[in-house]
């Protein structure tokens, strides 16, 4: 039970005793942390109770404050500001809480909730390598899944690979036309990058053909649909859906190259999945749902044979579900995938981690599933995040102007090494130790820089700003953790764990204990809001306050044994919270640095 709940229970008992007829739980929503400009730890908003007491809010607050001070040994003092009762708790109470936190290995994590949550992230196309935009998606999904697990939920992490469709056929056609049998081995490239190169080649050839047609007098729109290479890609998609053996064999070969490349990148990012779904399997399930919807007049067919749903009554528009040639669209496979997942896992919540350009898509998906009678449609949640931009501007896959994920990882590790060597952080380390620290710092910088930003916001990623041992960065937090571990290593005994009773903490030390106390609530709120940024910024503030404390207060040289033990206990628990919080972001922290 957190401190607010403890105080709330005591106050509720007193209020019900003093003012008969009060509701069963009259207090909890009226308790909040005291604002910094006032003296106190917690504040009770008294206005709602005045009608029950028959007195003014000020007199009601004074009455409650007097009784609290008399009855509760943990209350040091109270003061009234208009209709607000500020309550200050005794130092002994906070010292007891510190001892409790130090001895609680699961501090910050919650008991099983009995709820099952599925989180989908990554969801790449097999026509290009993973890039910076994918990295934000992957890191958000991995972190959100970890936070939800910390909140006590059973979490299933899933990936949906978009391995079919016209975009996949574009890479395949380009490889057939220009590849001359090239393979990842012969090219000396990762498979996903090789296939991505052919996607770019397709786009260049397509634009060249459009330009030629337009110069010959064809309208732009007509030229786009008549360009020979595009017609070949459409024909290949038709053949794929008809299970043409030659087409399927090429598709399997090129997708195999891509999967091997993806796995290598996932491993470098430190992420994984419990299950991977493939669009090539789920689109058929989606087509069956469309047929079912047609039979129930939920969908309608146009003269050209294409299938649509009319959502104008919901303030939207008409949405295509099957093209006139019978080929499916993204919505088709998403319907099939959603139903398959619910049938397999009976989730309580399904979280799609997908960019905000797909807001409309998920609004429509929920509506269609609801119209098809899927009661669980309301349990679908789209974690809509903003795009990642670079100082140079937006990225475009088909034009080959994206930042490749592997290149970015290499750059982050290289920069981490340069900065660490410059600052002497790698001195006296073995090569293996230095390599491990450099990897931690580089990957931590990348992950933290992305996750500290509210998911809803578009963000500007600047690799050079992400590695700074003095700012709001992973490097600063990692160094703080290493600094604490160094202090603890120098302390030979472990008696500080339970020997802090006679300590005399001042306001700075009490403030640190109170910051530790808010960690579980921060985890819970981050889970409710699906926002790793709340964890990231909490950990930064904790690390910043600890560094100030470390600068101003002696720890190992403190002569008062009780105070020394208290400061060691504080250091121990703050290191523990930093490590747990950073792991929820997918970031490792070093023992020394």
> DSSP assignment, residue 162?
B
At residue 47's C-alpha, the angle toward residues 41 and 51, to 5°, is: 140
Collect the ranges in the chain with pLDDT lower than 70. Answer: 1, 22-29, 391-402, 493-499
Note the pLDDT tens digit of each residue in 403-417: 889 988 998 999 889
CB–CB of 131/397 below 8 Å? yes
The predicted pLDDT at position 24 comes to 62
Q: DSSP letters of 254-266?
A: HHHHHHHHHHHHH
CB–CB of 451/536 below 8 Å? yes
Note the pLDDT tens digit of each residue in 27-54: 555 788 899 889 999 999 988 888 788 8
The predicted pLDDT at position 28 comes to 54
Q: How far, in Å, are 99, 358, 402, 455, 462 from residue 458 at the CA level?
A: 42, 14, 16, 8, 13
The predicted pLDDT at position 326 comes to 77
The predicted pLDDT at position 398 comes to 42
CB–CB of 8/87 below 8 Å? no
- Distance between CA atoms of residues 297 and 150, nearest Å: 44
> DSSP assignment, residue 27?
S
The predicted pLDDT at position 270 comes to 96
Output the furthest CA–CA distance in the chain (Å, rounded).
Answer: 94
φ and ψ of 367, to 5 deg: -65, -45
> DSSP assignment, residue 378?
G
Report the relative pairing of strands 388-389 and 459-460 from DSSP bridges. Answer: parallel
Q: What percent of the chain has pLDDT over 90?
A: 73
Tell me, rounded to whole angstroms, the distance of Cα 448 from its chain centroid. 11
The predicted pLDDT at position 450 comes to 94
The predicted pLDDT at position 397 comes to 42
Domains parsed from the chain with CATH numbers? 3-89 (3.30.1360.70), 121-389 (3.40.50.620), 405-584 (1.10.730.10)
């Amino acid at each position: 039970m957190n401190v607010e709940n403890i105080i709330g229970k005591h106050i509720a008992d007193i209020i019900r005793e003093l003012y008969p007829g009060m509701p069963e739980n009259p207090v909890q929503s009226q308790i909040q942390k005291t604002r910094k400009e006032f003296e106190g730890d917690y504040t009770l908003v008294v206005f709602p109770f005045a009608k029950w007491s028959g007195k003014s809010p000020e007199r009601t607050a004074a009455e409650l404050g007097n009784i609290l001070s008399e009855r509760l040994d943990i209350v040091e003092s109270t003061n009234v500001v208009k209709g607000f009762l500020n309550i200050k708790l005794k130092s002994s109470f906070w010292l007891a809480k510190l001892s409790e936190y130090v001895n609680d290995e699961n501090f910050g994590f919650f008991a099983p909730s009995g709820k099952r949550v599925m989180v989908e992230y990554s969801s790449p196309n097999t026509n290009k390598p993973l890039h910076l935009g994918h990295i934000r998606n992957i890191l958000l999904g991995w972190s959100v899944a970890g936070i939800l697990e910390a909140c006590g939920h059973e979490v299933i992490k899933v990936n949906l690979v978009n391995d079919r469709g016209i975009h996949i056929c574009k890479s395949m056609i380009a490889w057939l036309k220009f590849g001359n049998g090239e393979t990842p081995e012969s090219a000396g490239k990762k498979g996903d990058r090789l296939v991505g190169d052919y996607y770019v080649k397709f786009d260049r050839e397509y634009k060249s053909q459009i330009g030629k047609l337009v110069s010959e007098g064809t309208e732009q729109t007509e030229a786009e649909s008549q360009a020979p290479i595009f017609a070949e890609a459409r024909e290949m998609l038709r053949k794929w859906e008809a299970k043409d053996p030659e087409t399927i064999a090429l598709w399997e070969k090129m997708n195999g190259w891509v999967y091997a490349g993806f796995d290598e990148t996932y491993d470098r990012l430190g992420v994984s999945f419990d299950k991977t779904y493939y669009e090539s399997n789920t689109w058929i399930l989606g087509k069956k749902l469309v047929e079912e919807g047609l039979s129930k007049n939920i969908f309608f067919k146009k003269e050209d044979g294409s299938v649509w749903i009319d959502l104008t009554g919901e303030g939207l528009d008409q949405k295509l579900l099957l093209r006139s040639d019978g080929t499916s669209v993204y919505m088709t496979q998403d319907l099939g995938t959603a139903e398959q997942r619910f049938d397999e896992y009976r989730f309580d919540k399904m979280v799609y981690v997908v960019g905000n350009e797909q807001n409309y898509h998920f609004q429509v998906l929920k509506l269609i599933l609801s119209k098809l009678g899927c009661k669980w449609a309301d349990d679908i949640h789209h974690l809509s995040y903003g795009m990642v931009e670079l100082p140079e501007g937006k990225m475009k896959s088909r034009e080959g102007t994206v930042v490749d994920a592997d290149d970015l990882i290499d750059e982050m590790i290289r920069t981490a090494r340069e900065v660490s060597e410059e600052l002497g952080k790698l001195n006296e380390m073995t090569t293996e130790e230095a390599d491990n620290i450099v990897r931690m710092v580089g990957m931590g910088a990348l992950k933290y820089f992305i996750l500290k930003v509210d998911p809803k916001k578009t963000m500007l990623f600047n690799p050079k700003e992400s590695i700074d041992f003095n700012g709001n960065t992973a490097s600063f937090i990692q160094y703080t953790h290493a600094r604490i571990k160094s202090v603890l290593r120098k302390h030979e005994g472990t008696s500080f764990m339970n020997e802090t009773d006679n300590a005399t903490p001042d306001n700075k030390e009490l403030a640190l204990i109170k910051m530790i106390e808010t960690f579980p609530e921060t985890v819970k709120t981050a889970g409710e809001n699906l926002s790793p940024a709340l964890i990231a910024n909490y950990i930064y503030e904790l690390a910043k306050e600890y560094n100030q404390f470390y600068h101003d207060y002696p720890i190992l040289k403190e002569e008062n044994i009780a105070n020394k033990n208290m400061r060691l206990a504080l250091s121990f628990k703050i290191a523990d919270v930093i490590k747990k919080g950073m792991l929820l972001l997918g970031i490792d922290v070093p023992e020394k640095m």
